[in-house]
Amino acid sequence: MKKIKHYAKELLFIIITVTVVANIMSIYRSRDLTHAPLQVTSLTLIDGSTYHVKEEKPLLIHFWATWCPTCKLEASNIDFLSKHFEVVTVAVKSGSDAEVRKFMQERNYHFKVFNDSNAVLASEFHIAGFPTTFIYNKEHKLSFSEVGYSSTLTLYLKMLWAGR
């Protein structure tokens, strides 16, 4: 029983340490991101439709890439959130619309995707690492930004907070 307690304490210490370090890294990497109110009003998605930013609703904008391992881990979180909130994603330097659609279909993801094949939009947001997530409140002012992996629960709670 003593060994189990010892290992449980060690595991808890490691989890807390990793969480703290990851948050510090995210804050450090987020400092150069744009903090301006949302300027984007519409985007043409890979399915040919146009996404119009909704008034009076919080919005999660998620920058990712098909070649990014962390993005692949986080994609199911984004897919889940897209069923409950306004979410639009930006695939950066990930190939043609057809290649991004194929990536989405192979993994059964259904979130909205704008293909930023030349990283023009990513440059406007000052994206330096992937994934990067922005959450805007109902007035389209930035509430949260994060570089790196975010859990479903963390993003869900941040979206609830942004919508209050």
The pLDDT score that the predictor gives to residue 164 is: 83
Distance CA 132, CA 148 (A): 6
Contact 124, 90 (CB under 8 A): no
pLDDT in tens, the chain (164 residues): 777 877 677 877 776 766 555 555 555 555 556 667 888 999 999 999 999 999 899 999 999 999 999 999 999 999 999 999 999 999 999 999 999 999 999 999 999 999 999 999 999 999 989 999 999 999 999 999 999 999 999 999 999 999 98
Contact 124, 148 (CB under 8 A): no
All structural domains of the chain:
32-162 (3.40.30.10)
User: Has this prediction a pTM greater than 0.85?
Assistant: no
| Calpha distance 155→69 (Å, rounded) | 19
Q: Tell me how many degrees the CA angle 159-24-144 measures, rounded to the nearest 5.
A: 20
Residues shown for the chain: 164
Confidence at residue 30, expressed as pLDDT on a 0 to 100 scale: 55
Specify the pLDDT at position 27. Answer: 55
pLDDT of residue 4: 82
